[in-house]
Amino acid sequence: RGIITAVPVPFYGRGIEIKILAAEAGVGLTNLAFAISAYQADHDAYPDSLEVLTPNYISQIPTDPFSGKPLKMTSVEGGLILYSVGPDLRDDGGAKEYDNKLKSKEVNSGDITFVMGTAFADLRLKPSREYLKKSTQERELRTKKRKK
């Protein structure tokens, strides 16, 4: 794991660990996005695969802190989705937690994403009513448990 997760911290539960790993994934995705932007500037196109970025644009493809494997990329109309498999460890092809395309509607399901290009406006998802309702119910349940 990276520097962020190597710092000893008191045990606060899985929620804190997930947030730390998600932040680490975000750093890797951002570094990957910079490398892809440089590639795009040189070639007037997005790369067909992440492997073409090494070693000229990035020394190695960043590791997904959740799976231990390289971060992933998928092409979409108008751009790319860079992603980590996220805390559920399932490759959802770049679908976010509150994406209606997801099979699972559980909180902390879905991928952690970075969308590039004009696809960003189309794929900037808003949580569905179903997701918001379930998330609120789970938060209320946790609050009740803490008060007991």
112-141 confidence digits (pLDDT tens): 888 888 777 666 655 556 666 777 888 888
**pTM for this model (two decimals):** 0.69
Higher pLDDT pick, 146 / 46: 46
Token output for 119: 């696809």
Tens of pLDDT, residues 31-81: 999 999 999 999 999 999 999 999 999 999 999 999 999 999 998 888 898
Secondary structure, 3-state, the chain: CCHHHHCCCCCCCHHHHHHHHHHHHHHHHHHHHHHHHHHHHHHCCCCCCHHHHCCCCCCCCCECCCCCCECEEEEECCEEEEEECCCCCCCCCCCCCCCCCCCCCCCCCCCEEEEEECHHHHHCCCCCHHHHHHHHHHHHHHHHHHHC
Residue 114's nearest CA partner among 74, 77, 65 is: 74
Residue 147 reports pLDDT greater than 80 = no
Tell me, what's the pLDDT at 129? 61
Tell me, what's the pLDDT at 121? 65
CA 120 from centroid of its chain's CA atoms: 14
Tens of pLDDT, residues 6-18: 555 555 566 778 8
Higher pLDDT pick, 3 / 124: 124
